[in-house]
Structure 1
Amino acid sequence: MRRHTDIIGRLGGPNSGSIQGVGMQHIPVASSNLKSIAYDPSKSVLEVLFKSGSVYQYYNVPVSVHEDLLGAESKGQHLAKYIKGKFPYRMILPSS
């Protein structure tokens, strides 16, 4: 079973703050489904690391949507309602 540190180490290094070289700093979140969230405002890319180990990037995401996600009481429900299916996305790493 892969650990969060294994995934970050494999993708960008534990001290790099990046995954796949995008240069985004992940912020740990309190959620039963999400582990951390990162956002690149210059590219409008939202990156989500799930507790399962999978990593997704969502594209053309306005900064306000990222801020709303960070402020949501339930991050998983907010992601499902306002982001999934609304923005193009790509799986960066499958679940462990």
Structure 2
Amino acid sequence: MTDERLCWLILRDELRERSSRLRFLGRLRAAVGGVRASSAMFEGDLRREHTSAKMSAYAVAVDASAQMLSPDERRHLRTAGEVPGWFRPDVERRYQEMRKRR
């Protein structure tokens, strides 16, 4: 298994949670329940599509950040199953840069 893949597996669930969070209006609609069933299904499809696009962007960011790991960090990654402290903020920075370019 590559180091890039290992980093992805370590962060995947955390990033999935982050990318699937409903925005304020989505939470409000869900709480009020005023959306018709067909409209809710359509919004669910759009949300899943949006989440998938976000996860793809996060995957690219994780891969790019993983390429910056030092040999010592790679050893720690493989022995402890942890990414270095700078890794998560770097992934988020790269992700935000990709979003700005769209």
Q: TM-score, normalised by structure 2?
A: 0.28
Which has a greater percent of helix? 2
Q: TM-score, normalised by structure 1?
A: 0.29
More strand by share: 1
Larger Rg: 2
Bigger relative CO (Cα 8 Å, ≥ 6 apart):
2
